[in-house]
Structure 1
């Protein structure tokens, strides 16, 4: 039975050349988006883009690429979570081929983003993003190379749905939208809620899944390296997610407090005028 199980996994596993090809193509695609597509697209969408400094344009293009990547792999992630029967039936050793495509795309993006961060370190350099990307790539390695942990590797990509709102907050800020503007308020509330749902609320069910399979024959067959990478990298990412959640919550509360103050001031001003 064990032998047939291993054969099934091997049969469903993508070959290394295909994976490398997807990662490399993804890397080139995101580089093209950063250097060519984003500058052109952004100039068409808003005249404010051309007024930005070179440094701001670099970060703008980086966030456009981040948003595109988040939506692409995020929706693929949802498709896999709901419709990929192989990984749902066997989260540790199910056929990983569809997940490998998604993670290969994500890995290409992470490598592209790390390259841009290093290339433009003075503008967008951030040690936490280097740590985040490195931890994610190390964890994805086991899914891409060995085909194990496909369901859990894909599960982590739910977090990508928070990025478009985080990026939109920055876009509104550099375009000069007041923090009390309707666009900023709506985006801020949505960002806080979505970030909590996809990065914090998923923590208990994720680790409950780990607990459910911990110590089983399928879990032991993973080996210590994969087990430690899976649990250890997840822990690092979740600590960072909690830290970011605290910052975002504080920012959201500041905006709400600012709105209340403005309403109070207007009320007193109108009262004095009356």
Structure 2
């Protein structure tokens, strides 16, 4: 009976506090930070036991190895969430405007949870980048994470423009391929067939998720401008400033990806 009582108290705590709408944004952010720590430790444990080359790496390379494990898991999670809300869920559908109001002001507990987890990741990753600066990334990574984190946080805590936030987060589809490229390079497989195939995958994923999808997002904003203009001024500016800034960075990085792929293909000829 005593165990049952504790179980009921725990369920009430989760239901009425941790998962209650007023607390969900905060608990999801904390959950994101906790999950990052957990994935870091699991990556470290798994790699030290099952990957022979891991123990031969320098300390900072092992830290980056584990850090990339975090970013890969986050990318897979948030990409699935983003694809679901953008293309499959009807939360932001135009057909629901009569019942749920303007698309730019809609949110749900699940959409809030996904954004909160992502903010937790950005906080954890930024903390590691600052702590080990510049070993885990230079100023461009700090700018990217700060800009993305501010946009996601605003969307979470105000409930505004969550559809556009998830559209931008689909770009995380490219992260696993980028990390795999680094892992293959560290493992001495830069001349392998897997490295070449992954390079082509990076090119295609980047083109779709970070170039074409951003064009689609700008078109979506254009045809729904009558709704976007009703947002608060800061949110309105974020809808344009964040995607435009990220688009410029994406185009610059895409140019480097194309050059790298061309160089790799020439070596294979």
TM-score higher than 0.5: yes
Could you say what secondary structure the match of 1:95 adopts? coil
Shift of 1:142: 2.4
Q: How many angstroms apart in 2 are the aligned matches of 1:191 and 1:219?
A: 32
Q: How many angstroms apart in 1 are the aligned matches of 2:22 and 2:123?
A: 17
Q: Describe the shift of the 1:44–1:79 C-alpha distance in structure 2 as closer, same or farther (beyond 3 A).
A: farther
Whether contact under 8 Å (2:75, 2:173) holds in the other structure is yes
Whether contact under 8 Å (1:136, 1:233) holds in the other structure is yes
| 1:247 aligned onto 2:256 | yes
Q: C-alpha deviations, 1:196-219, integer Å up to 9, x for none?
A: 1111111221100111122x1x32
Shift of 1:145: 1.4
Partner of 2:180: 168
| 1:199 aligned onto 2:210 | yes
Which one of the candidate residues 24, 27, 48 is aligned to 2:53?
A: 48
Partner of 1:269: none
Could you say what secondary structure the match of 1:51 adopts? coil
Whether contact under 8 Å (1:76, 1:102) holds in the other structure is yes
Q: C-alpha deviations, 1:134-159, integer Å up to 9, x for none?
A: 11111112211111111111111110
Partner of 1:67: 72
TM alignment of 1:130-209, pairs within 5 A: 130-177=142-189, 179-209=190-220
Please give the TM-score of this superposition, normalised by the length of structure 2: 0.86
Q: What's the C-alpha RMSD, in Å, of the aligned pairs? A: 1.5
Gaps of at least 5 residues in structure 2 are: 1-19, 95-101
Gaps of at least 5 residues in structure 1 are: 1-13, 261-274
Whether contact under 8 Å (2:115, 2:153) holds in the other structure is no
Q: How many angstroms apart in 2 are the aligned matches of 1:86 and 1:165?
A: 30
Q: How many angstroms apart in 1 are the aligned matches of 2:32 and 2:204?
A: 30
Please give the TM-score of this superposition, normalised by the length of structure 1: 0.84
Partner of 1:231: 240
Partner of 1:93: 105
Which one of the candidate residues 106, 109, 117 is aligned to 1:105?
A: 117
Q: Which structure has the larger Rg over C-alpha atoms?
A: 1
Whether contact under 8 Å (1:92, 1:219) holds in the other structure is yes
Whether contact under 8 Å (1:19, 1:101) holds in the other structure is yes
Shift of 1:116: 0.5
Could you say what secondary structure the match of 2:191 adopts? coil
Shift of 1:162: 0.4
Q: How many angstroms apart in 2 are the aligned matches of 1:81 and 1:173?
A: 34
Q: How many angstroms apart in 1 are the aligned matches of 2:234 and 2:30?
A: 26
Q: How many angstroms apart in 2 are the aligned matches of 1:82 and 1:75?
A: 11
Which one of the candidate residues 207, 225, 230 is aligned to 1:221?
A: 230
Q: How many angstroms apart in 1 are the aligned matches of 2:250 and 2:215?
A: 13
Whether contact under 8 Å (1:93, 1:147) holds in the other structure is yes
Whether contact under 8 Å (1:58, 1:123) holds in the other structure is no
